[in-house]
Amino acid sequence: MMIMSVLVNNSKCVKCAGCVSVCPKDALALKSEIVCDEKKCINCEICITFCPAGALRIKK
């Protein structure tokens, strides 16, 4: 089984935390930057679609 998670481009991220609020598994958190808990992420890509800055992508 391949583990994938969300990769954040912090130079594009505007820290709006919209991705955090739409994640159905609470895999994302805003600390000093957005972080993804790979154990919780189900690769649904809702956060990627929601991000207004285009700062998120799936890391394989």
Q: What is the pLDDT along the chain (60 residues), one digit of tens a residue?
A: 566 778 999 999 999 999 999 999 999 999 999 999 989 999 999 999 999 999 999 887
Predicted TM-score (pTM) of the model is 0.85
Q: Residue 54 and residue 8: Cα distance in Å, rounded?
A: 9
Which of 30, 31, 29, 25 minimizes the C-alpha distance to 45?
Answer: 25
DSSP H helices, the chain, are 18-22, 46-50
pLDDT for the residue numbered 5: 79
User: Please, are residues 8 and 34 in contact by the beta-carbon 8 Å criterion?
Assistant: yes
Residue 39's CB: how many other CB atoms inside 10 A?
9
* Domains contained in the chain, CATH given: 5-59 (3.30.70.20)
